Structure 1
Amino acid sequence: MSESVASECHDYNKSREMSRKKGVVDDGEENEEGILEIPPAESLPISTTVSTAPATDLKAIKRCIPAFAVAFSGGFLVSVLDPFQTQLIIAFDLCDCSTNISEILVDNSCYTCRSGETLVAVINLLLFVGAILGCQLTRIFSEYGRVVLLKLIAGFIIPGSLLSALAPTGLTGGWVQIAVGRFVAGIGMGCVCVGCPMYIGEMSPNSIRGKLQTISWVMQSSGSWFAVTLGLANWWRFVVFLPVVISLIALIMLSDVSETPYILLKRGSREAAIAACEDIHVEEDVEKEFEAVVHSVEISRNKKKPLELMRKNREYVHTLLVGACLGFLQNLSGARSLLTSSSRIIVQAGFSARSANFLTFALLGVNVLATVAATFIMDSWGRRKVLIISFTGQALTAIIGAVPFYVSPDADNAVTTVVSLFAFLATYAFGVGPIPCMYLGEIFPLDFKGFGMSMGASANWTGISITTFIVLSSSNTVIFSMFAIVSVFAAIFTAVFVRETKGKSVMGSPYFTEAKEMGGG
């Protein structure tokens, strides 16, 4: 046990004995000043040896299924409007084009209608702005519990999706209602990016935490794929309504889910926190893991504001900058914007709208398969190594897409564009997709985690907000060139500043000197 924790525990024993004589406090209760008394780890009934009970990945996955369901709803929400751009333009009379879907899927007049494209982009932007707000709100919600935060996500997605699905057609107010609905649902989407990694990180064994976090991203990618798949049937109201059903299922799952050890101990449920640690860390040093939880709760009791922590310890500033920059570069490098605007890019390359929809379906399928592949190497190769490979792959594939436009601007580069797009998304899904949000949950100590993760995730959504209009207003030449440059910079940034977290305790951080004593580095 570290000297600081031992000192805290000694002070605790003295104060607890005095309080017991006065009849003021019992184990795990709050005293009259509202301060939670936490016993030292060595006074608790935890085995000091590593458990030999068989720990299976299946048990850990089962524990995280509710968070996976929430992640699926978030992914579905992001891509739900992408296949319906032409239908929305028709329904709300935005452009002078045919009202026959069959004709439009061959004739690209609605797809290239500037006013319609702009309005769809604005609606997507409102989703991203809502996500930025949601990231900031998690700083408040997460303190009430990780499960509480996951439930609140559904509380935003359900009304937001209902507003969009029930918007009246042919009226300006209909577009406004869709826009408001996307903004409200976007708040929930922002909470997904913080809440799911936070819950999964604290409920996972260190040895497979990366795999479980990657599965969460697989579920997000699958949600996007499922949305586009249903979109091929052209039932836009039904598909936009589906996040309501998915969120209700997630709420049912969350009704019987335990909180994380950190939240349980913070609430004074000592025995429940011990049991949770023993259940999670079956083949790891349970005493050491619980000691880290005790240490984290002791730190959180100080209730110092994030700005005060950064002022007193520059390690907080350094870690926040690394996390925020990584989150920003993930989406500034373009993949998420390409996912939400893939149909337009494919049409711009020379394909019909019908072909664009089917190619987008295939593109998202590749995204899912590449993310599944990442689950097998995340805990063996490490976050840093995979990120460098993934960013480098993005840069190379974007260059492949850009070069033909510079060499032969007037040539038909449709096939090259699509191949480059598929390769770019595959390398993205291999590492850049799942890692940043996971990484944010691993590098911040618990007294700073809510603030740090919310700021990092906000930077992430700021990146996609910027690239949304770049993709809308630029040629494929500019799009691929910009994303190649950003990806090169991101690979260099990762190699220089990002530290490895593979196999480290989620209660520690490789960026903090004291955390290394607690198993963080």
Structure 2
Amino acid sequence: MSEICETCQLGKQARHPFPIQTTHVSSKPLEMIHSNHHHVRPPAQFAIFATLVVALGPLSLGFALGFTSPTQAAIIKDLNLTVGQFSTFGSILNVGCMLGAILSGKIADYLGRKRALLVAVVPELVGWILIVFGQNPISLIIARFLVGLGGGIISFTVPMYIGEIAPKHMRGGLGTMNQFAITVGITLSYLLGIWVNWRMLAVLGALPEIILIFGLFLIPESPRWLAKAAHKEELTSSLQKLRGKDFNISHEISDIQAAVEASNSLPAVKWGDLMQPKLFRPLIAGIGLMVLQQFSGINALMLYSSAIFGASGKVSFILVVLTLGAAGLMDKAGRRILLMISAGGMGLSNFLVAFSFYARMSPAFSTFISILALVSLLAYIASFSLGMGAIPWIIMSEIFPAYVKGVAGSVATLVNWFSAYIVTFTFNYMLLWSAAGSFWIFAGECLLTVVFVALYVPETRGRTLEQIEASFK
């Protein structure tokens, strides 16, 4: 290159707020030195490693979500539980997650993302230990609530951490690992539950959290949280480690610091401040996606899948494979188009499932109807994995301004768990009313999601978190 662009000339004169190590950079090609060029991409090996470490948290949460399916008969028999007691044991996890979601934003903002995960591990481990040694329904219910409490903190903190450490060109793909880890955890609990008793299964459920504790000491804190907390030297060290020792991080640090300084100039945020007009659009987009994700019928279809396959584990295994396959599309096709295709496919699948219920009254077409129900379920799972499974969590970690991210993210996570609880609680009553009608309602909600995404959800692919925040202004 015989000339240096104007942006790079200005970059030479910029005075950065943090000390930048440039000793090794000067001997590198010009393209690496001037990393603020949009086509230059930093190495991502360590960001991938950090993502895999924190993904142990949602893996354990997924394990807890799937735990009750293979263990129901054995726990009821061993402890002489009533169906109502076991149902409480299963559903109390959602209540714990809701409380964890309420606390998660404040904890993550005050202590940092890594320490928040360490805090989450404590009730989860205590919960799993109580399940291992539990002898009565009260101890099991308390244990399950504690597991949910830690899970609620994890379900907010992990997507936020991944979104804040990932290079912009990989944020979608790495963000998918949160949902991928949950589906892996669910699948593992189904499969391992076939071979081990429920107490040993609880021991296995605690293992990811134990590994996570050690893993957290090997990865850096979120650079954006360090900037917000004014830990200047740690910010430089953290970002350099995540981007590679030879990559010039000065431009990214300047962007992060400028956004943080603007956020710090604003007063402390309270819950009521979320109703401010300038926060209305990102809040509606984030919370709306969380509601629509759950009311699309995913939990209902998972329940129905047992009747089709005879084992939910097969369905969750398909979710694992398809979610991993969709990860590569997140940063290529874009968030909005994947969400609309995903929701549209889910709507059509729900409609066909509803039709299969309706047409069962005609015995002449019983074979065709069974095939239709199976194909519709597979199409629904494929569609959900393509976008609506992972992207709402990715969007939640991207669109909230830094100064409200803790509070707004907590609200979005709380809404997601509350919506999941409502759908799970009401689905059996909906089936008593009308099986076909239930899935037609889900189909209508999926079509509403397509319209909602078109109107309210911004495209965030390939943009830094600071650029996304500026776009809402």
TM-score, length-scaled by structure 2? 0.85
Question: 1:69 and 2:56 equivalent?
Answer: yes
After superposition, the Cα gap between the structure-2 partners of 1:469 and 1:508, relative to the gap in structure 1 and judged at 3 Å, is same
Q: Does the aligned pair in 1 maintain the 2:400–2:469 contact within 8 Å? A: no
CA deviation string 1:412-443 (max 9, x = no partner): 55554343333212211221111111110100
Deviates more, 1:504-513 or 1:177-186: 504-513
Q: In structure 2, what is the Cα distance between the partners aligned to 1:371 and 1:292? A: 32
After superposition, the Cα gap between the structure-2 partners of 1:205 and 1:500, relative to the gap in structure 1 and judged at 3 Å, is same
Q: Does the aligned pair in 2 maintain the 1:145–1:263 contact within 8 Å? A: yes
How far residue 50 of structure 1 moved from its aligned partner, in angstroms, is 1.3
Q: Which one of 268, 274, 288 corresponds to residue 325 of structure 1?
A: 288
Query: What's the counterpart of residue 306 of structure 1?
Result: 270
SS at match of 1:221: helix
Query: What's the counterpart of residue 288 of structure 1?
Result: 251
How far residue 41 of structure 1 moved from its aligned partner, in angstroms, is 3.1
Number of aligned pairs? Answer: 438
Question: 1:127 and 2:87 equivalent?
Answer: no
Question: 1:491 and 2:454 equivalent?
Answer: no
Query: What's the counterpart of residue 125 of structure 2?
Result: 158
How far residue 463 of structure 1 moved from its aligned partner, in angstroms, is 1.2
Q: Does the aligned pair in 2 maintain the 1:73–1:246 contact within 8 Å? A: yes
How far residue 286 of structure 1 moved from its aligned partner, in angstroms, is 3.2
1:201 counterpart letter in structure 2 = G
Q: In structure 1, what is the Cα distance between the partners aligned to 2:326 and 2:424? A: 26
Q: In structure 2, what is the Cα distance between the partners aligned to 1:279 and 1:293? A: 16
Q: Which one of 17, 34, 37 corresponds to residue 49 of structure 1?
A: 34
Q: Which one of 352, 361, 369 corresponds to residue 321 of structure 2?
A: 369
Gap runs ≥5 in structure 1 = 1-38, 96-115, 169-173, 350-354, 515-521
Q: Does the aligned pair in 2 maintain the 1:443–1:511 contact within 8 Å? A: no
Q: In structure 1, what is the Cα distance between the partners aligned to 2:464 and 2:259? A: 12
Query: What's the counterpart of residue 458 of structure 1?
Result: 414
After superposition, the Cα gap between the structure-2 partners of 1:151 and 1:462, relative to the gap in structure 1 and judged at 3 Å, is same
Q: Which has the higher helix share?
A: 2
Q: In structure 2, what is the Cα distance between the partners aligned to 1:419 and 1:235? A: 33
Matches within 5 A, 1:102-141: 116=83, 118-141=84-107
Give the fraction of aligned pairs with identical amino acids, expressed as a percent. Answer: 24
Q: Does the aligned pair in 2 maintain the 1:73–1:220 contact within 8 Å? A: yes
Q: Does the aligned pair in 2 maintain the 1:443–1:510 contact within 8 Å? A: yes
1:260 counterpart letter in structure 2 = S
Question: 1:435 and 2:391 equivalent?
Answer: yes
Q: Which one of 449, 456, 463 corresponds to residue 405 of structure 2?
A: 449
CA deviation string 1:473-508 (max 9, x = no partner): 343434422321221111211122111111111234
SS at match of 2:403: coil
Q: In structure 2, what is the Cα distance between the partners aligned to 1:179 and 1:338? A: 26
Q: Which one of 347, 360, 382 corresponds to residue 334 of structure 2?
A: 382
Q: In structure 2, what is the Cα distance between the partners aligned to 1:512 and 1:466? A: 34
Query: What's the counterpart of residue 235 of structure 1?
Result: 197
Q: In structure 1, what is the Cα distance between the partners aligned to 2:119 and 2:460? A: 29
Q: In structure 2, what is the Cα distance between the partners aligned to 1:276 and 1:451? A: 24
1:397 counterpart letter in structure 2 = S
Q: In structure 1, what is the Cα distance between the partners aligned to 2:446 and 2:289? A: 11
After superposition, the Cα gap between the structure-2 partners of 1:495 and 1:182, relative to the gap in structure 1 and judged at 3 Å, is same
Deviates more, 1:289-298 or 1:474-483: 474-483
SS at match of 2:331: helix
Q: Does the aligned pair in 1 maintain the 2:127–2:143 contact within 8 Å? A: yes
- Greater Rg over alpha carbons, structure: 1
After superposition, the Cα gap between the structure-2 partners of 1:181 and 1:507, relative to the gap in structure 1 and judged at 3 Å, is farther
After superposition, the Cα gap between the structure-2 partners of 1:318 and 1:186, relative to the gap in structure 1 and judged at 3 Å, is same
Q: In structure 2, what is the Cα distance between the partners aligned to 1:480 and 1:210? A: 30
2:68 counterpart letter in structure 1 = L
Q: In structure 2, what is the Cα distance between the partners aligned to 1:319 and 1:508? A: 14
Q: Does the aligned pair in 1 maintain the 2:18–2:233 contact within 8 Å? A: no
1:238 counterpart letter in structure 2 = M
Q: Which one of 461, 465, 468 corresponds to residue 424 of structure 2?
A: 468
How far residue 131 of structure 1 moved from its aligned partner, in angstroms, is 0.8
1:204 counterpart letter in structure 2 = A
SS at match of 1:409: coil
Root mean square deviation of aligned Cα: 2.7
Deviates more, 1:187-196 or 1:84-93: 84-93
Question: 1:255 and 2:217 equivalent?
Answer: yes
How far residue 83 of structure 1 moved from its aligned partner, in angstroms, is 2.0
Q: In structure 2, what is the Cα distance between the partners aligned to 1:488 and 1:121? A: 32
Matches within 5 A, 1:206-221: 206-221=168-183
Query: What's the counterpart of residue 17 of structure 1?
Result: none
Matches within 5 A, 1:95-106: none
Q: Does the aligned pair in 2 maintain the 1:370–1:427 contact within 8 Å? A: no
Query: What's the counterpart of residue 346 of structure 1?
Result: 306
CA deviation string 1:73-122 (max 9, x = no partner): 12111111122222233334356xxxxxxxxxxxxxxxxxxxx2x54443
Question: 1:481 and 2:440 equivalent?
Answer: yes
How far residue 291 of structure 1 moved from its aligned partner, in angstroms, is 2.1
Q: In structure 1, what is the Cα distance between the partners aligned to 2:126 and 2:137? A: 16
How far residue 68 of structure 1 moved from its aligned partner, in angstroms, is 1.5
2:282 counterpart letter in structure 1 = T
Q: Does the aligned pair in 1 maintain the 2:20–2:250 contact within 8 Å? A: no
2:284 counterpart letter in structure 1 = L
After superposition, the Cα gap between the structure-2 partners of 1:511 and 1:163, relative to the gap in structure 1 and judged at 3 Å, is farther
CA deviation string 1:446-478 (max 9, x = no partner): 100001111111111111111112233343434
Matches within 5 A, 1:121-200: 121-143=87-109, 144-168=111-135, 174-200=136-162
Query: What's the counterpart of residue 378 of structure 2?
Result: 422
Q: Does the aligned pair in 2 maintain the 1:337–1:464 contact within 8 Å? A: no
Q: Does the aligned pair in 2 maintain the 1:66–1:250 contact within 8 Å? A: yes
Q: In structure 2, what is the Cα distance between the partners aligned to 1:317 and 1:40? A: 35
After superposition, the Cα gap between the structure-2 partners of 1:478 and 1:122, relative to the gap in structure 1 and judged at 3 Å, is farther
TM-score, length-scaled by structure 1? 0.78
Q: In structure 2, what is the Cα distance between the partners aligned to 1:503 and 1:468? A: 36
